[in-house]
Structure 1
Amino acid sequence: MHGGLSPSLITLDDLRNHPKPIRNPFRGIVNDMLWADPDPAVFEWKTSARGSGFVFGTNVIDDVCARLDVELIIRAHQMCFDGYWVVSGKKLITIFSAPMYCNLYKNAGCVLKVDDELGIQMVAFVPESAKVEQVIEEKNRVWDFSFDNIE
């Protein structure tokens, strides 16, 4: 998903049954999922300061994963200095693929490789800096099979 979760998301059929084509609405489940953001400091749901969507806590992530029977939620939408951000016991990953965002930040970019067995590996694109090779080596091994395997 692009942004995050919605308090209106009860089952995956809530998305499957949404009228297509989907346009950017001003409210509702699709709007929420475009603009929502995780925040470990929030208990459940909070109105987003963005003016649309919600901010949600780690207990919401845990509940949604259990209710929808999914192991991992992958989203984008927020600049991450390391190119990615992992929360809630590796149940939600934010991937940000644009290094040196708008030429204003010295952030890394990242993509997620998924193999045939649904094993995942982060691949980071790190701006030129001291020890860049070491940083790339560490970022590319975050979820290597030898380190961790989501089952």
Structure 2
Amino acid sequence: LQSMEQVRRVMRPTDVPDQGLLCDLLWADPDKDVLGWGENDRGVSFTFGADVVAKFLHKHDMDLICRAHQ
């Protein structure tokens, strides 16, 4: 995700693909034991560490990300 404009441009409604931005936005999992990005044991998308969250928040001038389906 390079810009929030990419999220705004997602066509809705839509089917979720098996890979790509929309898939990752929905299915990537936080992992407190991961630094950076990792493989997801569920076989879809990735895992990400707190460092990835901090970098994203800083880049997009945000304070918080809420994960709704956790």
Same fold (TM over 0.5): yes
State the Cα distance separating 1:36 from its structure 2 match: 1.0
2:30 and 2:36 map into 1 onto residues whose CA distance is 10
Q: TM-score if structure 1 supplies the norm length?
A: 0.44
In the alignment, structure 1 residue 47 sits paired with structure 2 residue 1: no
Summarize deviations over 1:93-144 as a string: whole Å, max 9, x none. Answer: xxxxxxxxxxxxxxxxxxxxxxxxxxxxxxxxxxxxxxxxxxxxxxxxxxxx
State the Cα distance separating 1:21 from its structure 2 match: 2.4
Q: Which has the larger radius of gyration?
A: 1
In the alignment, structure 1 residue 26 sits paired with structure 2 residue 26: no
Summarize deviations over 1:43-68 as a string: whole Å, max 9, x none. Answer: 10112111111100000000000111
List, as ranges, runs of 4+ consecutive aligned residues in structure 1 with deviation greater than 6 Å: none
Query: Alignment partner of 1:55: what SS?
Result: strand
1:68 and 1:23 map into 2 onto residues whose CA distance is 26
RCO higher in structure (CA 8 A, sep ≥6): 2
1:40 and 1:10 map into 2 onto residues whose CA distance is 23
> Residue type of the partner of 2:19?
R
> Residue type of the partner of 2:20?
G
> Residue 55 of structure 2 corresponds to which residue in structure 1?
63
Q: What percent of counterpart residues are identical? A: 39
RMSD: 1.2
Query: Alignment partner of 1:46: what SS?
Result: strand
Unaligned runs of 5+ in 2: none
Q: TM-score if structure 2 supplies the norm length?
A: 0.89
Query: Alignment partner of 2:66: what SS?
Result: strand
> Residue 93 of structure 1 corresponds to which residue in structure 2?
none
Alignment of 1:1-151 (within 5 A): 9-78=1-70
